[in-house]
Amino acid sequence: MSAQPTGILRRLIRSWREYGKHDAIVRRDEYILEHLAGLDANALVVNVGCATVRRFEAECPGRYLATDLRVLPTVDFSSDATRLPLADNSVDTLITLEMLEHVPDPGAVVAELGRVLKPGGTLLLSVPSAVPRHDTHDFWRFTAQGIAALCDPVFAHGKVTVYGGTFETLGYLTAYYVSLLLHVLKFPGKTFRQFFPTVGRAIDKRAGWTTSTSALHTLAFDLLYVGTGADTTEAR
Ligand X SMILES: C[S@@+](CC[C@H](N)C(=O)[O-])C[C@H]1O[C@@H](n2cnc3c(N)ncnc32)[C@H](O)[C@@H]1O
49 binds ligand X (CB under 6 A): yes
Using the rule CB under 6 A, which residue among 32, 45, 69, 230 binds ligand X? 69
* Residues 6 or more apart whose Cβ sits within 8 Å of residue 220: 129, 130, 143, 144, 162, 163, 164, 165, 166, 169, 213
Going 232 to 56 to 71 to 137, the CA torsion angle's sign is positive
Complex with ligand X: residue 75 or 199, whichever CB lies closer: 75
Check residue 60 for interaction with ligand X (CB under 6 A).
no
Does 148 interact with ligand X (rule: CB under 6 A)? no
76 binds ligand X (CB under 6 A): no
Closer of 47 and 218 to ligand X (Cβ): 47
Instruction: Work out which of 10, 14, 63, 70 binds ligand X, going by CB under 6 A.
Output: 70
Pick the binder of ligand X from 76, 80, 141, 152 (CB under 6 A).
80
The interface with ligand X within residues 196-215 (CB under 6 A) comprises none
Q: How many residues bind ligand X (CB under 6 A)?
A: 16
Q: Are 72 and 78 in contact (CB under 8 A)?
A: yes
Select the residue interacting with ligand X from 51, 75, 91, 144 (CB under 6 A). Answer: 51
Least separation in angstroms between residue 209's CB and ligand X is 26
Query: Near ligand X by CB under 6 A, which window of 36-44, 64-72, 111-119, 146-154?
Result: 64-72
- Toward ligand X, which CB reaches closer, 103 or 147? 103
Residue 26 interacts with ligand X (CB under 6 A): yes or no: no
List 99, 117, 170, 223, residue binding ligand X (CB under 6 A): 99
Q: Decide if residue 53 touches ligand X (CB under 6 A).
A: yes
What does the binding site for ligand X look like in residue numbers (CB under 6 A)? 49-51, 53, 55, 68-70, 80-82, 97-99, 102-103
